[in-house]
Amino acid sequence: MQDQGEPRSAVVAEAEFEPQAGGSDVLAGLLFATLGLVALWGGWAYPAGSSLDMGPGYLPRLVCGALVLTGIVMVCRNLRSRSLRLPTLPMRAMGCVAAAILLFAVLVERAGLFVACLVCVLTAALGDPLTRWREVPVVAVVFAGVAALLFGYLLKLPIRIWPL
């Protein structure tokens, strides 16, 4: 990457994501309410029973209802008073780390632990603005090797280690 060696603070200056005090209340409220509604809808078929003889649907309905209510109160309390500013997600780091974990999941049984670790480290390195690309392949091979040695041969976890 071209920003090699720059101090971390300079690199990320553009990606300020300090959460906004009031705005985050509205967003969190919306999130809670949506989650509650979706779960309410998903769990509608579970028999609720009565408070004296609770069925499997009793507590879910109670929790979802309270969640929707909490969300609505949060939105209403903050809607007018503060401007709605979204905290920006650290998309690059988040995407790369999540992708690294998912690739590990896909590869570990198909290609073995060594390859999975290798790909995981390389993918995660894409998410770090301070990555040194001459260093990364070495780091990846060393870490994958250590992982294979430690978990495969020393601890003898029942994990496939090599592709073949």
Partner 1 sequence: MSDVFSSIAGGLAVAATPANLWYCFLGALVGTLIGVLPGLGPIATMAMLLPLTYYLEPTGALIMLAGIYYGAQYGGSTTAILMRLPGESSSVVTCLDGYEMARQGRAGTALATAALASFLAGTVTTVLIAFFSPALTAAAQRFGPAEYFCLMALGLVAAIVFAQGSLLKSIGMILVGLLLGLVGADVNTGLDRFTFGVPELRDGVGIAALSMGVFGIAEIVLNLARPQQEGERAQPVSALRLTAADWKAAWPAALRGTGIGALLGILPGGSAMMASFASYSTEKKLSASPERFGHGAIEGVAGPEAANNAGAQASFIPMLALGIPGNSVMAMMAGAMLIHGIAPSPNLASAQPQLFWGLIASMWLGNAMLLVINLPLIGLWVRLLRVPYRMMFPAILLFCCIGIYSVNNSVFEVAMLALFGVAGIVLMLLDCPLAPLVLAFILGPALEENLRRAMLISNGDLQIFASPICIGLLVATGALLLMILIPSFRRTRAQISEE
Pick 92 or 153: Cβ nearer partner 1: 92
The total of other beta-carbon atoms located within 10 Å of residue 112's CB is 18
Q: How far is CA 100 from the centre of its chain?
A: 11
Question: Nearer to partner 1 by C-beta: 16 or 164?
Answer: 16
Q: Find the length of the chain.
A: 164
* CB nearer partner 1, residue 136 or residue 164: 136
Place of tokens 């690309």: 133
Q: Which residue, 50 or 164, has its beta carbon nearer to partner 1?
A: 50
**Residue that has been written with the tokens 């670790």 in this structure:** 117
HSE-up of 77 (CA within 13 Å, CB side)? 13
Partners of 54 in beta bridges = 49
Shortest Cβ 18–partner 1 spacing (Å): 9
- Please report how close the Cβ of residue 94 comes to partner 1 at its closest, in angstroms: 5
The dihedral region occupied by 132, where left means phi > 0, alpha psi between -120 and 50, and beta the remainder, is beta
Smallest separation (angstroms) from partner 1 to the CB of 116 = 8
CB 164, min distance to partner 1, A = 20
